[in-house]
Amino acid sequence: MTLTPDAISANGLYVYTAIRAPRGLSETITHAWHHNGELMDVVELNINGGREQGYRAWSHKQNFPEDPSGDWRIDIMTATGQRLGLIRFDVSDDSQQASLANGEIRASGLSGLNLRRFVPGHPNDEEARPED
């Protein structure tokens, strides 16, 4: 699906995070949603270590500004303010400029961070698929 204002306003947007974490680790991270450089929402996620494929968590944004067009960024942060990674995408009425939400967007950041799920509307059935 192309990330147009109508599409994300109607369906919302999920972002999935998989983080390699050692057994016994219990940590709070956040997905900080930014629109055109302005912080819009912060979603807290609790992670628990020990899973071979990494701990997977997601946030679902449903409340978008009246005009959600523009540059979006999601910072994945620790409770102490360390950035683990980020995702950037563009929302536009022009399908040539808008990002495509197809589950293949990958974030930059630490090698243990895999943000492979970026899907509009609802969780992806392949959530349990092992990481590449």
pLDDT exceeds 70 at position 117: no
Span 70-99, average pLDDT? 90
Task: Render pLDDT for 18-51 as a digit per residue (tens, 0 to 9).
Answer: 887 777 778 899 999 999 999 999 999 988 877 7
Alpha carbon distance 95, 129 (integer Å): 29
CB atoms under 10 Å from CB of 82, counted, come to 10
Give the CA diameter of the chain. Answer: 46
- Hey, which residues does 41 pair with through a beta bridge? 33
Overall CATH class of domain 5-121:
mainly beta
The structural domains of the chain, with segments of one domain joined by +, span 5-121
Alpha carbon distance 21, 106 (integer Å): 19
Full DSSP string of 50-68: --TT-EEEEEEE----SS-
Whole-structure pTM value = 0.73
Residues 51 and 131 sit within 8 Å (Cβ to Cβ): no
Alpha carbon distance 55, 70 (integer Å): 31
